[in-house]
Copies of this chain bind each other. A is one copy, B any other.
Amino acid sequence: MDTAVNESLSISYNLEQFLIVLSVSLSIATLSKTVPILRRIPYTLLLVIVGMALAFVDVKLINLSPELIMEIFLPPLLFEAAWNLQWRNLKENWFPIILFATLGVVICVVGIAFPLSYWGGMELAIAFLAAAALSATDPVSVIALFKELGASKKLNTLMEGESLFNDGVAVVVFLILVGIPLGTSTFDLSTTLARFVTVIGIGVGCGLLIGFSLSLLTQRFDLPFVEQSLTLVSAYGAYILAENLGGSGVIGVVVVGMVLGNYGSRIGMNPRTRLIVSIFWEFVAFFVNSIIFLLIGDQIGLSSLSDHLNLILIAIAAVVVTRLVSVFGLSLISNKVSDQISSTHITLQEQTVLWWGGLRGSVAIAVALSVPQAIAERQAIIDIVFGVVLFTLLVQGLTTQFVLKGLDLIGDQPQRLEYAELVSRQIALRRVLAEIQKSDEFPDIDPERLRYKQELVQGQLQSVTDKLKLLLQEYPLLQEVANKKFDQTVLDIEAETYADLIRMGRLEENIMPLLVTLEGENVVE
Q: What is the interface of chain A, defined by CB distance below 8 A to chain B?
A: 2, 4, 7-8, 11-12, 15-16, 19, 22-23, 26, 29-30, 33-34, 65-68, 71-72, 84, 86, 220-221, 223-226, 228-230, 232-233, 236-237, 240, 270-272, 274-276, 278-280, 282-283, 286-287, 290, 373, 417, 419-421, 423-432, 434-436, 440-446, 449, 453, 456-457, 460, 465, 468, 472, 479, 482-483, 485-486, 489-499, 501, 506-517, 519, 523-525
Contact = CB atoms under 8 A, between A and B. Distances in A.
A225 B4 contact: no
Main secondary structure of the interface of A (DSSP, over half): helix
Contacts of A233: 19, 22-23, 26
Contacts of A498: 271, 275, 424, 428
A236 B493 CA distance: 34
A389 to B, nearest CB: 21
Contacts of A493: 428, 431-432, 435
Given A65-B8, A444-B423, A460-B517, A223 B373 contact: no
A23 B345 CA distance: 44
A444 B468 contact: yes
A482 to B, nearest CB: 4
Given A424-B513, A490-B432, A517-B457, A226 B67 contact: no
Given A228-B283, A233-B23, A223 B525 contact: yes
A417 B511 contact: yes
Contacts of A278: 510, 512
B430 A440 contact: yes
A15 B431 contact: no
Given A22-B233, A424-B513, 4 more contacts: A225-B283, A225-B287, A274-B499, A442-B489
A493 B483 CA distance: 26
B229 A26 contact: yes
